[in-house]
C-alpha cells in the first residue's frame, strides 16, 4: 500500500512540475508575443467647427464608428505600440444650412431664415471608410486585460457616399452623392480611458466641403469635430 501511495505521490510531483514548467513556458511565450489587436466601436456627438456666419446646429448630430485595429508593439515591455486600423464611420450633422442643386446639378448653399421658412429636418450625412493610425501607450501586461490607455494619432477617411435631407416648405429636398463634399477627410484623434470605456476626440484638419462651396460669397471652411466614447474589445 505504501508503495502505491509513494508511486502516486511521485506521479503527482512529476506531473505538477511538468505542468508548472509548461505554464511558465506559456507565460513567457505570451509575454514575448502578446499584443492588443482590437475591435472598436464608438458613439460621438458631432460638431461643426469654423462655421460660417449665421450657421448654427440644431438638434442632435450623431456618429457611429466601428472597425478593427492591428497592434504592433515597439518596445520590449509591449506597452507602447503603433496601431493600424480599418473601419466604417457614419455621421450626421443637423444644422440650418440648406443644400440644393441648380439646373446644372451644381450645389447651392443657403442659410435658412426661420422667420420665413418652416421646416422639421435639415441635415447632411456622410458615410466613410476610415483608417486610424495611432501611437498607443497602455499599462497592459500579458495577464492584465483591464488597463489604462492613451491612444493619439491620425485618421484618414474617404467619403464613399453622402446625402442631404430637407423637410419643410415649400417642398422636401433630398440629394445623394453631391459633388460639393470633400471625399478625402483627415484629422487628429485622441482616445483615453480605462478598460472598455474610453473618451474619444476627433478634430478634422480639412473642410467638409470643397473650396468652391460658398454662402453669399463666403467659402464654407467648416470642419468636423467629434466628441464621444470609444469601446475596445479584444
What are the pLDDT tens digits along the chain (234 aa)? 444 444 434 443 343 343 444 444 444 444 567 788 899 999 999 999 999 888 999 889 999 999 999 999 999 888 999 999 999 999 999 999 999 888 788 889 999 988 888 899 999 999 999 999 999 999 988 787 788 999 999 999 999 999 999 999 888 999 999 999 999 999 999 999 998 889 999 999 999 999 999 998 889 999 999 999 999 987
Instruction: Delimit the domains of the chain by residue range.
Output: 1-33, 36-233
User: Beta strand 218-219 with 223-233: parallel, antiparallel or unpaired?
Assistant: unpaired
Which grid cell sits at 177? 452623392
Residue appearing with cell numbers 456618429 = 63
DSSP character for 161? E
Strand partners, 95: 57
Which grid cell sits at 42? 464608438
pTM (predicted TM-score)? 0.83
DSSP character for 125? E
Amino acid at each position: 500500500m505504501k508503495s502505491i501511495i509513494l508511486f502516486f505521490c511521485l506521479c503527482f510531483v512529476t506531473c505538477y512540475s511538468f505542468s508548472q514548467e509548461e505554464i511558465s513556458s506559456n507565460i513567457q511565450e505570451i509575454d514575448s508575443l502578446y499584443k492588443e489587436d482590437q475591435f472598436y466601436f464608438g458613439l460621438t456627438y458631432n460638431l461643426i467647427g469654423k462655421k460660417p456666419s449665421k450657421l448654427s446646429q440644431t438638434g442632435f448630430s450623431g456618429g457611429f464608428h466601428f472597425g478593427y485595429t492591428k497592434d504592433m508593439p515597439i518596445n520590449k515591455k509591449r506597452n507602447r505600440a503603433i496601431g493600424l486600423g480599418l473601419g466604417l464611420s457614419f455621421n450626421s450633422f443637423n444644422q440650418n444650412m440648406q443644400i440644393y442643386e441648380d439646373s446644372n446639378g451644381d450645389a447651392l448653399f443657403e442659410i435658412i431664415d426661420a422667420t420665413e421658412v418652416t421646416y422639421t429636418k435639415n441635415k447632411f450625412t456622410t458615410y466613410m471608410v476610415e483608417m486610424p493610425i495611432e501611437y498607443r501607450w497602455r499599462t497592459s501586461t500579458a495577464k492584465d486585460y483591464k488597463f489604462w490607455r492613451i491612444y493619439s494619432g491620425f485618421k484618414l477617411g474617404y467619403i464613399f457616399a453622402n446625402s442631404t435631407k430637407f423637410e419643410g416648405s415649400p417642398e422636401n429636398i433630398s440629394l445623394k452623392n453631391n459633388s460639393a463634399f470633400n471625399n478625402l477627410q483627415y484629422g487628429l484623434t485622441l482616445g483615453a480611458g480605462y478598460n472598455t470605456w474610453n473618451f474619444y476626440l476627433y478634430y478634422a484638419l480639412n473642410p467638409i466641403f470643397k473650396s468652391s462651396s460658398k454662402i453669399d460669397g463666403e467659402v464654407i471652411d467648416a470642419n468636423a469635430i467629434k466628441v464621444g466614447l470609444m469601446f475596445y474589445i479584444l
